Structure 1
Amino acid sequence: MESDWDEVARVVLPPPSPNALNTPISTFSFDSMQELLWTANEFGRITSFYGPELQRYTSYRGHASAEGPVKQMLMCDRGVISITAKSVHLASRKGLTQWHFNQDDMKDLRCMAFTSKGVHEVLVAGCQETMYKIDVDKGVITSTLKADAPYTMMKRGGQYICAGTADGFVHFLDLINYKVARTWKAHSAFINDMDARSDILVTCGWSSRPQHGYMLDHLANVFDLKTLMPLPPVPFPPGAAFVRMHPKMSTTCLVASQGGLIYAIDIMNPDAPSMRHANVFDTHITSLDIAPSGDALVLADAQCAMHLWGSPNKIQFTEYGSPTEFADQPAPAPPMDWSADIPLNIIGMPYYREMLFSAWPSHLVSEVGAPPSKIDAGIIASLKRSDIGGYAPFPRKTRRYQFEDTRAVQRAHDTLSAPRFLSERQKDDSQGHEGPRRMSDALEALGDLALGGTTRRDVPVMYRNVEIKYSKFGVDDFDFEYYNKTKHSGLETHIANSYTNPLLQLLRFTPTIRNLALHHTATSCLYDNCLLCEMGFLTDMLEKAAGMNCQASNFLKVFSSLSDASTLGLLEQFATANNPLSVTIQAANRFLLKVFCDSFRQLPPHNRHMEQSLTTGALLAIRCGHCANEMLKPGETLVHDLVYPPKPLKHHPRMTPPRPAFSQVLKASVERQDQTRGWCDRCKRYQQLSTRKTIQSIPKVLMVNTAIHSPDHKQLWATPGWLPQEIGVVVQNGQFFCYEGSDLKYHLQRGFYDIMVYELVGMVVDINSADNQKSHLVSLINVAPSSPDPTDQDQWHLFNDFLVRSTTSEEALRFDMNWKLPSILTYQAKSESHVIDDSWKENLDPSLLYYLPRGPHKSPDPTVLRNLNPTTELPRAGMPCAIDAEFVALSKAEIDIKADGTRETVRPPRLGLARVSVLRGAGPYEGLPFIDDYIASSEPVVDYLTAYSGINPGDLDRAVSKHNLVNLKVAYKKLWLLLNLGVVFVGHGLPKDFRIINIHVPRAQVVDTVDLFSHRLRSQRRLSLRFLAWYLLREEIQQNADKGHDSVEDARTALKLWRKYQEFMDAGIIENMLDDIFDRGRETNFKPPSVYKTERDNGEWRPETPGHMSVPGTPARKTVGPALLGGASHSPSVKKDIFGSPIR
């Protein structure tokens, strides 16, 4: 590596679909013939990137996703050879398949290498008994060979194929007969990476260390392929993880650690290595490769990113590569005049001779597969049985030849009728029409249908799937209040992995978890992927919202980015049809609690309060059934999976076996005893082992997964009253005793034992609608324990995503084996009820507000951006702060075009925070920013919206950005601290900004200039910031369309407008000024004269008349958050009396 080597590019492997998350890189390789870098993921997709800028070139699926990750790729003349566990694939560099092998005896392929015939023949092997020789040109398997050992990696070197085994050996296979010529024990545990060139082989691997498990060796072992003898190893103190031989210098190799340290070492002189360090932030390196030219190096990290290193001035992948072929540029369309004066027939249609396929005659269009009509109840009542069924007289209730539209009847009963859009209701209100029926009326009409009757088999309406409908105004036009009239907020559904919404609601209403999460969030924790902080943010938002709809977008974004969640199959994009949703949510419950405990323990003083509150302490005794050797180890449990007793055999046909009580099942589950087969240290072999638990302590919160798998389990839960609302637990002499009902009352009266009484806080329930709808989850929660008032009685609520309604405890605890079964139960110690600890608000750590982002770029001038002074500018309640934010599009809208041609928005575009600016609203530095953060994007950006956001490509990329970027959590936490310190946010169109940021600000802390300058008596129009600045401040803003808007300029302008509004209020002329503003606005189409004149000259504007005034149908903010910086002052040419305010 030369002295000018540095990171020149960093890209993230694109996701498999537009709405999916990024996937880890399973392998990659430089092309030996073209300037391409080939990568592969865990789902068989292969993607190539061109040149040092790593532009996407081709992408294709070479293997089925069920076969697992792509293990290795080799380059040849015809294209790219790739293997997975069960197949071998060759595709051209354009992505076209040349041949594909997928045989039954291919069970676990791992590696391949070219033979003595070069790139025309390849040897494929793996952890299986057979190897295959494949003729690359003909696409046939020429021979099948027996493997001497399971091979995990292969490299061609000298006269041998070096094959690494799973136990740390290297087998040197002769190129003539592929027999093992020699074996070499390279590492005591297993090999992590190796590479061979000429006559030298270098390996990196793991060794077993007593009491430390497996650790990377601090030496890279070297082997001479000419003499078949080992050479002196190369020292690498950080732990050698990856190695590549230099393609030009035969004795030089590159060795890298997992932490990003890279050595260029001469094997013959290892004492003077050349060192570089790759900045991988909070992740680690997973693989390494070097280009055939030796001028480029690529690293992959665990966060799905690739780091390309090289000399910025002369980086190239191949020495003498052939040119890369690109797609032809499409011919430009002929220019057409689309103005309103041109007749449509001039544009014409494509030429065709036959009738278009879409021109179907009406007699060929019909609905098929309509469901049968429901049998009338009167027919069933008068039914007479016979040998082959039953019969009854037919009561004719329709005319002859009249039929029933059963599909419409089914649609009417499947879902709760959606409300009308807010824009439609506003239009009706403005015209004096009666508004639609609200939720209270709907509940009265559907009360019996929704929850009535204990034997009802149909799923009640309130339990069914709810969906958000989108109008042209987006999600802001949807009437969420129709579904929720309570003071408890629901969660929206149009976010990936929102199936966890019921579990998040359950955790938020558990006071112990709620308190610990908020206390942790108030600390100085800045870990970007801390789910416990996100849980605290979400809890605080739900409490402040007090019934308004919220979304867990930030929490679910972090949750979806965790590799462990992907590995455990907790992400919707990897879900399979045979994996029930109840099983997934139970696994998510176990995963979240473990992550919460780990996160709480990370910060000093590293206490275990969270762990002690959630963990059942136990010792696990493992006993060998052969030698009776017993071993003890900790057996702490966060979540208990219920273990049901086997169904007893009936000794008498009329005898009903006793039904176990819930307390008995819970005791058996906590003291779980298992029989398994495992390794015995004394016998030195696998034996039958028995395990049993000795309980030592019980937590404040008892989390239970119901683990319902059989009809017997379902029947048990369908028993009325089987689930108790209170249980009592006693731990004595290592045993766990559980009581309920009369037994619990008896022991409490005696007072002999120290009993901890638990009460049921809530549960996550699986709603299975069979054929009508897909299965989904809801939560039923008793919100009383989370209230600070100890006199509150039980208040059970149903949380069906954003539908929230109160219910009774009888309805909540009534289950049906056909459609309603619990998945997760939460019991909390009764002594912890109503313990709402809000002391975190007094212990907030505001130090983050006093520092500017650090990075490679110079900090801005203090006259442009100055951090707060912690002694004189401490944020306090009522302190005004101007704010504005800019966003970029992370995904485009999903549009469904129906058969009748109408378009329906399935999912709106997903926006991400790109920049946020906060300015002082008072004091000597009023209008000066103290926050102006650009947020590093961890996801691909599909549209930077530069015309509105002012964000350009590269601004959010750490590798090339000219700004000092911060993580989303840092920017979010600054706003969260200001919110909880009580500042008042001043801005223009803030509700949409706060929604995308995913924070809820109470109305008392918001001053929105859109609302200040609205005149509802005359018009529903919301005035733009640009027009208000021109008319009231005599300033032209947002003039440069190429550079877009500036959030600092926007926020400063909003602050000036607020001050101007205060002047009007003090003078008592606000109503007169509003009349003047709207009169002048109608003359200029509510735009500054410069814009108005341009549109008028182009014929794009027609004046509004009082009788035909255009009224926007929904509350709308400014035309996507522009950005303002200084606002050039000007004097518009208008009538003299326009600015005739007495205070000007």
Structure 2
Amino acid sequence: MDLSSSSLHYETAPEEMLIYDEDTNFTLADESFVSVDEHFTGEYINAEFHERSTILVDGGENFGVSSVAFDTHEELLWMGNQGGHVTSYYGPDLQKYTSFQVHMTDEIRCLHPIDGGILALSPNSLRYQMRRGLPIYTYSSVNMEEMQCLIPMKHSPDSFLLSGHNPRIIELNLSEGREVQMIDVGEGGCAIMRQQTRYLCCGEPTGRVELRDPLTLKVEHSLETHSASLSDFDVHGNLLVTCGFSNRQGALSCDPLLLVFDLRMLRALTPINLLLDPLLLRFMPSYSSRLAVASPTGQLQFVETVVSEPDMSLYQVNWPSAGCVVSSLDVCSSSQAVVVGGSGGSLHLMSSTHSPLYNAFSRPTEFADPIENYEPISLDDTMAVLASIPLPLTDGPLLSDWPKQFVARGYRRTPPIDPEILRTMKMQGTVGYAPNPNTRRRNQVSETYIKRQEGRGGTPNATGGDDQQGFVAIPKRYRKPELKYNKTGGPLGEGENDVENCSKTGLSGLEATLPNSYCNAMLQVLYFTENLRNVMLAHQCPAEFCVCCELGFLFHMLGSGVPCHSGNLLRALRSAKEASALRLILSDTSAQDANLLLLIQSWNRFILHQMHSELLEAKRKEIKMPTFVYRDTDFPSIELQNQRKKKAKAEVSEEIIEDNTKGETDVSRLFGSKQTHVFTCLKCNNKSSKDATLLVHNLVYPHTKGQISSLSLGENNEISFCQILQSSVGGSQITPAWCEPCYKFQPTLQERRVKTLPQILSINCGNNNEADKKFWKDQMDAIVLKVVQGSGDVKTTGNTRQCRYGLSCTRVGCRFKHPQQMTETGISVPSHLYQSHSWVPLSLVASLSENGQMTVKPKPANSEILKGDIIYDIYAVVCYVNDEKKNIVAIINVSSVNDTPLWYIFNDYSITPVGGSEAVWFSMDWKVPCVLYWRQSTSLICNNEMGITEYQSLVGPPPPISPEVLLNVPKCATIIPLSPSEIPKQGDLVAIDAEFVTLNQEESELRSDGKLATVKPSHMSVARISCVRGQGPLEGTAFIDDYISTQEQVFDYLTKFSGIKPGDLDATCSSKNLTTLKSTYLKLRYLIDNGVIFVGHGLNNDFRVINVVVPPNQIIDTVQLFYLPHQRMVSLRFLAWHFIGIKIQSETHDSIEDARAALRLYKKYLELESQGILHSSLEEMYSIGKSLHWKVPGVDTD
């Protein structure tokens, strides 16, 4: 046979396969390597498998095949030979994929494909190689001697077991590249390892198979198989099958049978007789009981373990030369292919189908990119495109370059800078930086936008619409204030000025960093509802999450005149099921898409009904006690932990009293409008009625001709606001309703007959659709047009200048001409008329007739008030500001009844004085009314209802907090409760410290100047509060050490800084002194109200998170005491080490330890100050701190 041609071919099927090209470095040592049919002419016996491909492997002329393995992830077959070379072949045609040298001399003992590559084991090393041929690393150690096999561990995918003719099994962590442990297996070693669900099966050369625990690797059972030596074994399910040699007359003899063991019963089953001498065997994975068995001479037999008679399916491998023996065997995971490697360097692939698949779901194999060939171009072809063949870049001139005199460089025009950027820009030297207005997408420049403007004439649209690059003419006092925060939540940058302005007004603003802070505007309205404020301040009840109590605490802070936040109130609202059902609790993602205009009106209705229901519940269950006392056992979330439920019931007696006022509360007396609803069926004239008390009224606007015709129209089809309010509160309408006599739904006339009018009239304006907004706009235009037509000195169109902002002008009091204000007669309406002539009156008069009909009209000027008339003055307006960031503001008259009006815009922490006319001026484009609050100014009521003046006299000052909150404290190991003689008095010292957990993650942004700014600080929740005596015989002893129970999900316990661990705040499993935030809050409020002076470190941040306001003269902060101007703030740990020689916070933080350290530091401060060496001591401290990098020796690590 001639092998000198360009390629070697032989047939195993009707097709031919290319084995080696002429550029191959290998040569055939023996020309007897020929096609199959030249050596084997006999028939296969019951042939199910046929020899699909046969090749001579790389280096096959010198080295035999030592190991083969099918890839379990891709359609690859791996081969390792006795010369340390590894080659992979793709598909059933055995197309060479990769080939690389692993070891220079040692053979490849085992191949194991994994997800990231291939593991090749040689006697003394392990190579981890990528499938593409790149080595990842090679591992070798002194413990690796005569390695034979490797197998992954099931419980740890990164760990592999390596064994061989070595007394130890090595556990190797592949990702870390280190030996985890070594297991002693005896002198014989372990030559074969197989995995089973219950055992790790280890085969010894002496013929014994040890069953080890997969986790501990300890021997649990041993199986004696062959008397002389173990050749091979495999495991599948509960069966273990072996083949090997026996001693017969002093010589080794191959056992012509397979031994079968049941691993469940740990006993031998009936052996399987074979027609050949078995050397290697493998279970076929797709079959539960089928085996492929190979003999040394190359015979293959497929047998069943459950069939008594052996299967006669035999096959003889066609060796390329005489004397070849089988050296390796493997079966693919799909059982469609079997590969046999021989000592002569040949590889034989047998398959049951013509196109076998190695795996059921193989991933695509990555091949090298094909080299692109270009069609040659003839020099004579004048139509050829030379650019079809890319050329390398060159720095020299090209033949196609135009002469310089015909070329002019054109530069792209710089787009104009957004006016919002110019407005907010700050300069640092020659560099300006501004916050991103988010009007463009990231990494995109709108070049087409500039071209479009040029096509329109080269100038931006003068109307100020959307084409004006983000310009929105909304006054700053209405825009969402942007406040940058430091790590402790304090204001930075422009926010400091707004907070200072807030303090100058003597009014308290509310911060909006917490979730659901959209209700800040309504909270300000409720606070300036004087009678409601007094009711909330006087309310005290034992409920853990009481909205009325939290409103009282918040109103107490708002009375201090400093900015604060409503964190504890929002916490109580999150616990209210009604608020969640009404979807008033927003997440961070839903807050961006929330309809604030409807949301704030729903919140107004909810808060009034919530206050009414809680006051009614407290009224029905009054506790007979001299003064109200908070006990930890009063709260259900703490009862389980303290196990004091029976004792609490014995100490507190409750009495259910009769409701003599039919469910009335202070809230219903203030806001409630008693009505009788009469229902008349239009078919049978059946009448029914029911009484109701409404706390909130919704404005209903007429849109149909029938609704409009029922109202009296004024000039220019004007419908007054008083008519809309009158029909909304006490009107009638026809709606389908159930009629009992008719026994079906019938058109029903529903009439609302008003019996009493409220002291405070709460109105929801609606305006949630374009029809309502258009109606409101039409009425405003009609009011102003009537004023213009009735005035003779209004200038015509030709005498008024055009407004520069055109249709988008929203400036209050603009006196220039606007296109939307042109009438049919050509009269221009100045904008200031919209402010001075509002559709909503500042005052109105309401009266009731005997039949329950309500009449509303504007308050007449210079006229007497009739008996029975009720004058309402508007004192609060909540508006929705429709800008990019969406905002809710409140315009409130903060003065008392009948005093000179003082109007302010409350925009979170920003408070700005305005005129009263601006409160009832609305643009409806960006300033939309949501909620209106009216209050009675003068009341001459003919019935026996109480007027607002008389009601004020009944509401006294809020009761003080009882000292019992400090005395009735359960004993625990960390505190000694106060005795009555130890109750702190004004001027007494109390050291305090608090620990916190976070409920969400902090949001920061990198500014253009390279500094990191905190946009939204993390939402922190108090977890532990500790108070320590500051004087007396028990000075330094804690009397409060409360862990605050929380039902909210904690994002980070900050254990390293707080000492709080998961489970410490859970009432079901905590071992700490767990209590409620409300109980601890009252203890602190008592200390604050009694004038106690608090000593601590970083108290401003502590009190801010606790959500309590402490006067500055009652705070002694060691951060400020030990501080030099223009220097850094020093930590409590460093101060305690430097000045008093103690090391705190070595492992974790403890609030009692920190409070004691702060108290001792304050005493040290007084000592240094009295000696006159304070300043020099601080300078020395800063010098030492800088040299130590502010790290405490022995505590902080580098």
1:635 is paired with a residue whose SS is strand
- 1:287-302 equivalences under 5 Å are none
Per-residue Cα deviation, 1:231-274 (whole angstroms, up to 9, x for no partner): xxxxxxxxxxxxxxxxxxxxxxxxxxxxxxxxxxxxxxxxxxxx
Matched, 1:883 2:989: no
Partner Cα distance (1:990, 1:460) in 2: 37
Aligned to 1:543: 559
1:951 is paired with a residue whose SS is coil
2:860 is paired with a residue whose SS is helix
Q: CA deviation at 1:1085?
A: 4.0
Aligned to 1:726: 843
Q: CA deviation at 1:1003?
A: 0.5
Q: CA deviation at 1:965?
A: 1.6
RMSD across aligned positions (CA): 3.9
The partner residue of 1:559 within 554, 573, 581 is 573
1:1021 is paired with a residue whose SS is coil
Aligned to 1:947: 1056
Per-residue Cα deviation, 1:734-784 (whole angstroms, up to 9, x for no partner): 535455545375242xxx313332222211101113xxx143211111222
Closer/same/farther in 2, CA of residues 673 and 328 from structure 1, 3 Å limit = farther
C-alpha contact (below 8 Å) 2:483/2:493 kept by paired residues: yes
The partner residue of 1:766 within 858, 880, 888 is 880
Per-residue Cα deviation, 1:993-1042 (whole angstroms, up to 9, x for no partner): 112222221212211111122222xx522222222222332322222x2x
- 1:512-911 equivalences under 5 Å are 512-520=531-539, 523=540, 525-544=541-560, 546-548=561-563, 550-573=564-587, 580-604=595-619, 605=622, 608-646=665-703, 657-708=716-767, 709=769, 710=771, 711-716=774-779, 719=783, 720-735=837-852, 737-743=854-860, 745-748=862-865, 752-769=866-883, 773-785=884-896, 793-830=900-937, 840-852=957-969, 859-861=971-973, 864-869=974-979, 871-894=980-1003, 906-911=1015-1020
Closer/same/farther in 2, CA of residues 1053 and 493 from structure 1, 3 Å limit = same
Closer/same/farther in 2, CA of residues 466 and 915 from structure 1, 3 Å limit = same
Q: CA deviation at 1:704?
A: 0.5
Aligned to 2:1135: 1028
2:1091 is paired with a residue whose SS is coil
Aligned to 1:1053: 1157
Per-residue Cα deviation, 1:1085-1119 (whole angstroms, up to 9, x for no partner): 4444434xx75xxxx5xxxxxxxxxxxxxxxxxxx
Q: CA deviation at 1:609?
A: 1.6
Aligned positions, number: 648
User: Please, what TM-score do these two structures have when normalized by structure 2?
Assistant: 0.50
Structure 1 unmatched runs, 5+: 1-324, 337-351, 355-398, 426-448, 450-455, 854-858, 1101-1144
C-alpha contact (below 8 Å) 2:733/2:749 kept by paired residues: yes
Partner Cα distance (1:467, 1:986) in 2: 33
Matched, 1:465 2:456: no
Closer/same/farther in 2, CA of residues 629 and 922 from structure 1, 3 Å limit = farther
Closer/same/farther in 2, CA of residues 694 and 740 from structure 1, 3 Å limit = closer
Closer/same/farther in 2, CA of residues 618 and 966 from structure 1, 3 Å limit = same
Q: CA deviation at 1:627?
A: 2.6
Q: CA deviation at 1:466?
A: 2.6
For 1:572, the aligned partner's letter is: L
Q: CA deviation at 1:823?
A: 0.4
For 2:863, the aligned partner's letter is: Y
Q: CA deviation at 1:907?
A: 3.2
Q: CA deviation at 1:539?
A: 1.8
Closer/same/farther in 2, CA of residues 570 and 326 from structure 1, 3 Å limit = farther
The partner residue of 1:480 within 495, 502, 515 is 495
Aligned to 1:977: 1086
C-alpha contact (below 8 Å) 1:621/1:630 kept by paired residues: yes
For 1:785, the aligned partner's letter is: S
- 1:173-322 equivalences under 5 Å are none
| Larger-Rg structure | 2
Partner Cα distance (1:1065, 1:810) in 2: 57
C-alpha contact (below 8 Å) 1:670/1:736 kept by paired residues: no
Structure 2 unmatched runs, 5+: 1-153, 160-172, 179-366, 370-408, 434-463, 465-470, 623-658, 784-836, 939-947
Partner Cα distance (1:760, 1:909) in 2: 38
Q: CA deviation at 1:1059?
A: 2.5
Q: CA deviation at 1:538?
A: 1.7
Per-residue Cα deviation, 1:788-810 (whole angstroms, up to 9, x for no partner): xx75x322111222322112222
Q: CA deviation at 1:1046?
A: 0.7
Partner Cα distance (1:620, 1:419) in 2: 65
Aligned to 1:1122: none
1:746 is paired with a residue whose SS is coil
Aligned to 2:132: none
Closer/same/farther in 2, CA of residues 981 and 661 from structure 1, 3 Å limit = farther
Per-residue Cα deviation, 1:667-715 (whole angstroms, up to 9, x for no partner): 2111032322222233333222222222222222111111224211343
1:759 is paired with a residue whose SS is strand
Partner Cα distance (1:999, 1:735) in 2: 47
Partner Cα distance (2:990, 2:722) in 1: 55
For 1:623, the aligned partner's letter is: T
Partner Cα distance (2:565, 2:696) in 1: 26
For 2:876, the aligned partner's letter is: G
Per-residue Cα deviation, 1:922-956 (whole angstroms, up to 9, x for no partner): 33333222211111221222222111111112111
Closer/same/farther in 2, CA of residues 960 and 601 from structure 1, 3 Å limit = same
Closer/same/farther in 2, CA of residues 842 and 500 from structure 1, 3 Å limit = closer
Closer/same/farther in 2, CA of residues 597 and 1055 from structure 1, 3 Å limit = same
C-alpha contact (below 8 Å) 1:912/1:996 kept by paired residues: yes
The partner residue of 1:499 within 507, 514, 518 is 518
1:582 is paired with a residue whose SS is helix
Partner Cα distance (1:556, 1:1022) in 2: 32
Closer/same/farther in 2, CA of residues 742 and 988 from structure 1, 3 Å limit = closer
Closer/same/farther in 2, CA of residues 474 and 555 from structure 1, 3 Å limit = closer
Partner Cα distance (1:577, 1:1071) in 2: 51
The partner residue of 1:406 within 412, 416, 419 is 416
Per-residue Cα deviation, 1:100-137 (whole angstroms, up to 9, x for no partner): xxxxxxxxxxxxxxxxxxxxxxxxxxxxxxxxxxxxxx
Partner Cα distance (2:522, 2:1115) in 1: 31
1:693 is paired with a residue whose SS is strand
For 2:600, the aligned partner's letter is: I
Aligned to 1:1001: 1110
2:597 is paired with a residue whose SS is helix
Q: Percent identity?
A: 32
Per-residue Cα deviation, 1:1038-1094 (whole angstroms, up to 9, x for no partner): 22x2xx111011112212222332334445543344344444444544444434xx7
C-alpha contact (below 8 Å) 1:730/1:753 kept by paired residues: no
For 1:761, the aligned partner's letter is: Y
Closer/same/farther in 2, CA of residues 407 and 763 from structure 1, 3 Å limit = same
Q: CA deviation at 1:976?
A: 2.6
For 2:978, the aligned partner's letter is: L
Partner Cα distance (1:1050, 1:784) in 2: 45
819-828 or 562-571: bigger deviation: 562-571
Closer/same/farther in 2, CA of residues 951 and 640 from structure 1, 3 Å limit = same
C-alpha contact (below 8 Å) 2:521/2:890 kept by paired residues: yes
C-alpha contact (below 8 Å) 2:987/2:1092 kept by paired residues: yes
Closer/same/farther in 2, CA of residues 875 and 901 from structure 1, 3 Å limit = closer
Aligned to 1:1119: none
Closer/same/farther in 2, CA of residues 757 and 335 from structure 1, 3 Å limit = farther
Partner Cα distance (1:975, 1:556) in 2: 20
Partner Cα distance (1:567, 1:677) in 2: 27
Q: CA deviation at 1:328?
A: 6.4
Per-residue Cα deviation, 1:458-507 (whole angstroms, up to 9, x for no partner): 32233223333356776554552322413323222232222212111211
Partner Cα distance (2:482, 2:476) in 1: 13
Closer/same/farther in 2, CA of residues 732 and 497 from structure 1, 3 Å limit = same
Matched, 1:1071 2:1175: yes
For 1:830, the aligned partner's letter is: S
